[in-house]
Amino acid sequence: MRECRGLDSRHFPAHDSSAHLSGNALLYAMTIPYLRHLFATVFLVASICCLNGRAAELLSSTNLPVLTGLDSGEPNLARGPDNTLYLTWSGPGVHAGERALYLAKLAPAATAWSQPTIIVSSPLLMENWADFASLIVGTDGALTAQWFQSPAKEDSHGYTGWFARSTNGGTTWTASAPLGEEFVSLAPLSGGRTLAVWLESAQLHDSHAPRMKPDTPAAPLPKASNLAHAPSMRLRARLLSAHGSTEQDWIVDPDVCSCCQTSLAVLPGDRAIVTYRGHTADEIRDHCVSLFTGVGWTPPRPLHHDEWKIAACPVNGPAVDTQGEHTAVAWFTAAQGAARMQAKLSVDGGLTFGPALPLDLGRPIGRLDLVMLADGSAIISWLEARTEKNRAGLYVRRLFPDGGLSAARLLTATSSIRASGFARLAARSANNLSVVISWTETNPAPNAKTPAPTSIHTAEFLATALPRERATALTSLVNHAQTVVSSDSSKLPELCTAPASAH
């Protein structure tokens, strides 16, 4: 495995079985930091955040209480067909030395999350600020959760993906089983099947073996491709049956960036679209797109030619979502030394895309997410740096189907440190314009050697509070202020470097 300066992880001790806490035990084990959040909210509502000389008005939102307690992090959101929302996060485990993956539900008309249950509690649970657990609701109503664990052997390195399924809303779970390596994304298909994609090592331990494993690629590689540089990571896909067994595997792309998130969304007719950061022999790390046709994958192609040449992974993946054939993708780049956030729209399920549309306010950190709404617009969240050390703002913006934009609005002040992680978005309903967002709040550490204490927060806001600011986002392509990034890649906020023998 590679050395990942951007992938600080906490490795903790689990038996491989799921564990559940009773209501009283769980309440005893968890703290409710509501007062601190309330005071912070009152302070923020009375304030305006000035970023790079621009005032961004605070977005009105409603807190959604959830019993996550302190020392919780890495939240993620999913919505089921009945509009129930599911929140997962990591926190203290059942026994000493364990960490747990938690689940809470938000019913369609609820104003607070349900009491949490535990999906898995384990001393091996691997927590990572950038590579974290997720959950989907299948077309058959079953839940599929995936997370990461460290190897059981003390002298082993790295981590792998695991998953389990629940047919009773998360009350009980099947025995956990391996699934993938890193940055796993899931999507539900018909008949309760699950499509999974992930990054995995493309390097072989046998120096006399062929440079690439004899897997069948998703499509023939272009003749111009040059794989002589021995890619370190590749993108794999797997189709799982309703019972969790493997139906088919593919290598979607044999050469990808080593530690950026993947993003997967469903299209009509059991199709799907995946976006991810690619990689070339020349160290170009631009984002790519591939389409799942129901029986295989189209050849990967660039989403946009940013031409970002960097000899390390920036730990900043894209986000894609769909509403029928309408597709929206957002991504971060720092090509030519200028950090920027951009988006593209498609009306044909990702076969073609419109022009790149600028999103940021001039000092983007990235760590974005995107969700499409019932009216075809998309909400995008991301972090922008502030002038104070390690301070940032969590911003949201609405992108309309014709490329028009709302003003960027500040949701909350936050930190740029890794522990603040990635905010996640979900539409509250398939039929309205309400959005739920989750994020990790970091608090000042008592000293430099102590990790910053963290807690999870969720809030709801209306997309109607983000009205159109201008007719089209194309007007902002001109005179868009950008943060100049040092040409020294080591100065970027997060990097995942590879050993010299890899890319």
* Spatial separation of the C-alpha atoms in residues 312 and 307, rounded to whole Å: 14
How does residue 189 score in pLDDT terms, banded at 50, 70 and 90? very high
In three-state secondary structure terms, 465 is helix
* Spatial separation of the C-alpha atoms in residues 405 and 398, rounded to whole Å: 6
Burial of 502 (0-12, 13-18, 19+ CB in 10 A): middle
> For residues 18 and 120, is the Cβ–Cβ distance under 8 A?
yes
* Spatial separation of the C-alpha atoms in residues 113 and 103, rounded to whole Å: 10
Beta bridge partners of 137: 143
pLDDT tops 90 at residue 272? yes
* Spatial separation of the C-alpha atoms in residues 397 and 381, rounded to whole Å: 7
Torsion angle, CA of 181/186/188/192, rounded to 10 degrees?
Answer: 30
- Tokens at 186, concatenated: 């899931």
pTM to 2 decimal places: 0.84
One-letter identity of residue 115: Q
How does residue 203 score in pLDDT terms, banded at 50, 70 and 90? confident
Higher pLDDT, 456 or 213: 456
- Phi (first) and psi of residue 339, to 5 degrees: -75, 135
- What value does the mean pLDDT take over residues 419-428? 96
pLDDT at 45: 36
Give, in order, the Cα–Cα distances in Å from 108 to each of 71, 73, 360, 375, 431: 28, 24, 32, 19, 11
Mean confidence (pLDDT) of the chain: 83
Cα dihedral across residues 181, 187, 190, 191: positive or negative: positive
In three-state secondary structure terms, 223 is coil
- Tokens at 278, concatenated: 């690619």
- Tokens at 133, concatenated: 């657990």
- What value does the mean pLDDT take over residues 92-121? 96
| Total Cβ atoms within 10 A of residue 119 | 25
* Spatial separation of the C-alpha atoms in residues 66 and 33, rounded to whole Å: 10
C-alpha closest to that of 25 among 106, 99, 117, 131: 117
pLDDT at 250: 98
pLDDT at 277: 98
How does residue 4 score in pLDDT terms, banded at 50, 70 and 90? very low
* Spatial separation of the C-alpha atoms in residues 299 and 291, rounded to whole Å: 8
pLDDT at 261: 96
pLDDT tops 50 at residue 66? yes
| Total Cβ atoms within 10 A of residue 376 | 16
